[in-house]
Amino acid sequence: MSRRTETLPLLTATPGTSRQLTVHRFGSPGARPKAYLQASLHADETPGLLVQHHLHSLLAAAEDRGDIKGEIILVPYANPIGLSQFGNGIHLGRYEAGGAGNFNRNWPDLFTPIAEGLADKLGDDEAANVAAIRQALVAHLAAQVPASEMHALRLALAGMAVDADLVWDLHCDDEALMHLFLIPAHWPQAADFAADLGCHAVLLADDSGGNSFDETFSTPWTRLAARYPQHPIPAACLSATVELRGTSDVNDKLASGDAKALFHSLQRFGVIAGDPPPPPRPLCEATSLDATDSVRAPCGGVLAYAVQLGDRVEAGDTLAWIVDPAAEPDKARTAVVSQASGIVLSRRLHRYVRPGLAIAKVVGKTPLPHRQDGYLLED
């Protein structure tokens, strides 16, 4: 058996402290396809932690049977820094407390540093081009020297994911239905993956504007293909953000089912031997992320929803009311309306809001004028 567990120490932030990543490896190093799966880069998004626990058991059993055909890297928690951050008894794992920002924003651009150097290394052989690009990506990251604990974390995670065929980053929303974020080049290749997971939305963007983890590994391939159109360059890393419903959707029944779905998809992509069951009936089609209305609070107050997850609404429908409890009753309620027609995909968990906070997503099909500014994510 080649199953093994290793720990990767991070750069020490302050004297007397240390953190490390735990990494589970299955299959033979260098075998293809290579899959990289991590959980809770936003450390307060808990569902992925339990899903990884169940998936580990499935992968260990597959390894014992000799069914791991490729290489699988499982990172049960991708953010030990964020896991340690609590304030007033509340877990605060979305932003680095030292001021380094959102853990899943501003990941490094891997296209620009390698693009020029590939000019004389690409040819007419697609497989050779893929190998040359992966070699350049690996070499670029290997040459970096971490300057902080956060930088060390990013280099460690990126170094394991950068040459993978599949990169699946497990997240969740506040209250939400299951959904995926992908680049358009990976649809409909990922259609069975979305069906396995039971996705209610697949949101596509060539560049969502936030330099998120998943796009760090998918977009270099499409940008290189545009830079060198005379050479065959596929979208060789199917990288996805998997939104495992809402932050409170954490139980063994859900996590076990999600782990089985991930396992079946790994079989479909040839990483694990065996015949998975037929994919379930798709619950959605893929849509452009700029057609999804990220609805924000126009004022502060108490949030009272008028819709449930999965409800279908029309543009102009009231999604919620924001109530000022000190105002006269006839002036206390401000309607929040949808600018998209589609399903309610997510809602905000906390019901007291300030102006500008995101409170819901409505998945539409028509690109929205106010979603054309290049930044399609939420902070």
Residues in the chain: 379
Over pLDDT 90: what percentage of the chain?
98
In terms of domains, do 276 and 131 share one? Answer: yes
168 has pLDDT over 80 = yes
CA atoms within 13 A on the CB side of 67: 17
Domain boundary among 284, 314, 349: 284
Domain boundary among 284, 310, 331: 284
Which residues are paired to 272 by β-bridges?
68
Return the CATH number at 346.
2.40.50.100
In terms of domains, do 171 and 244 share one? Answer: yes
Question: Around Cβ 63, how many Cβ atoms within 10 Å?
Answer: 18
Over pLDDT 70: what percentage of the chain?
100
345 has pLDDT over 90 = yes
Token representation of residue 376: 């399609």
Alpha-carbon distance 206 to 111, whole Å?
14
Count of domains forming the chain = 2
**Look-up of token digits 């979208």:** 235
Alpha-carbon distance 216 to 5, whole Å?
25
Burial of 370 (C-beta count, 10 Å sphere; 0-12/13-18/19+): exposed
Tens digits of residue pLDDT in 97-137: 999 999 999 999 999 999 999 999 999 999 999 999 999 99
Q: Contact at 8 Å (CB) between 238 and 189?
A: yes
Tens digits of residue pLDDT in 27-73: 999 999 999 999 999 999 999 999 999 999 999 999 999 999 999 99
Alpha-carbon distance 356 to 379, whole Å?
11
Return the CATH number at 227.
3.40.630.10
Residues 150-174: what's their mean pLDDT? 98
| Structure confidence at residue 1 (pLDDT) | 52
Residues 188-205: what's their mean pLDDT? 98
Alpha-carbon distance 34 to 55, whole Å?
16
Alpha-carbon distance 35 to 42, whole Å?
20
Distance of CA 82 to the CA centre of its chain: 16
| Structure confidence at residue 2 (pLDDT) | 78
| Structure confidence at residue 262 (pLDDT) | 98
Token representation of residue 11: 């750069």
Domain annotation covers residue 377: no
